[in-house]
Amino acid sequence: MKDIAVYTESISAWPWHVSYAAQIAAAFGANLTGVCVCPSPQTALPSFDAPGFIVEWADQFREFMEQAVKAEPGFLAEARKHGVEHAAWQVAQGYVPECLGMASNWHDLLVLGCDVAATWGSPAGVGDIMLGCDKPCLIVPTVHGKSFALDCIAVAWDGSMCALRAAHAALPLLMRASRVILLTNGSAHSALDSWQPSFDVSRYLKLHGITPQPQLVTEHGKGIGDDLLQAATQVQADLLVMGGYGHSRLRERMLGGATREVLAQTTLPVWMHH
């Protein structure tokens, strides 16, 4: 994991997930790229003729672009403060999920903030970004506030291809964790069940030097997302790894129930891959 990108809407004060991303980059000796996306002027232009509005919007857009570009020294200083040796700052223009999907093509991980006060920090916004990326996303809630640590990682395993992709992508972190807890409901079925021998996630992890501790997830009747978060909290996990389920229907992005519940309720960082 050598190239990490972090998206931020705030350029006047760096939100917690930016500091968290810098800590990860420093721990892995990775390059860190801060990404700020300015909306395209065309997306806000009215369909009717409004010269005054167009001029005002153009001025606001130009000012935001200038401020975003000038934020580079501040971001580089924040990265250096946490021990990052190589950092960069990128300002893009366009639709946020599309821009971040493009940026994910030359990064190994995208770090996002989960903050309902931010335009793209809501569960729906974060989900839309995640579903548009081909790389794993690490979602850090604003309420977390704890330094990056790998004392314990909880892996949600349901046998799905999303869960397998998430676990595989998280191997660099899992191999450094002191404890890895494999959360299951005891009846996981995989698309690989017809293979002989059948796929064994515990054996797979052991081949990479990881000895997971299996733990059944207790059902509390509030949804699998809530059950996973309670189980991760009980084992004092620093991070939850899980598949981010979703599908596209026409132009609408729909998140799976567990994914939506976790994004809406989580108080710890979540590593997701769809």
pLDDT of residue 55: 61
Residue 147 lies in a domain: no
> Which are the contacts of 247, defined by CB distance < 8 A and separation ≥ 6?
254
- When divided into structural domains, the chain yields a total of 2
CB count within 10 Å of CB 56 equals 11
Q: pTM above 0.85? A: yes
Q: Are residues 34 and 131 in the same domain?
A: yes
- Consecutive 10-residue runs of the chain (274 residues): their mean pLDDT? 96 94 98 92 55 64 89 97 97 94 96 92 92 93 92 94 94 98 80 78 96 93 89 97 65 61 93 92
Among 93, 113, 141, identify where a domain stops. Answer: 141
Residue 49 lies in a domain: yes
Rounded-to-integer distance, Cα 117 and Cα 128, Å: 16
Domain that holds residue 250: 152-273
- 3-state SS, residue 243: strand
Q: Are residues 165 and 235 in the same domain?
A: yes
Rounded-to-integer distance, Cα 200 and Cα 207, Å: 11
Among 87, 107, 141, identify where a domain stops. Answer: 141
Q: Which helix (H) or strand (E) holds 179?
A: strand 179-184
Among 107, 141, 175, identify where a domain stops. Answer: 141
Q: Are residues 77 and 170 in the same domain?
A: no
Rounded-to-integer distance, Cα 172 and Cα 72, Å: 29
Query: Nearest Cα to 75, choosing from 110, 33, 103, 114?
Result: 33
Q: Are residues 103 and 169 in the same domain?
A: no
Q: Are residues 75 and 173 in the same domain?
A: no
E-assigned strands of 44-99? 87-93
Q: Are residues 251 and 133 in the same domain?
A: no
What strand order describes the sheet that includes 179-184?
A: 87-93, 31-38, 3-7, 109-114, 137-141, 270-273, 239-243, 152-156, 179-184, 213-216
Residue 26 lies in a domain: yes
pLDDT of residue 188: 64
CB count within 10 Å of CB 31 equals 18
CATH code, domain carrying 69: 3.40.50.620
Residue 146 lies in a domain: no
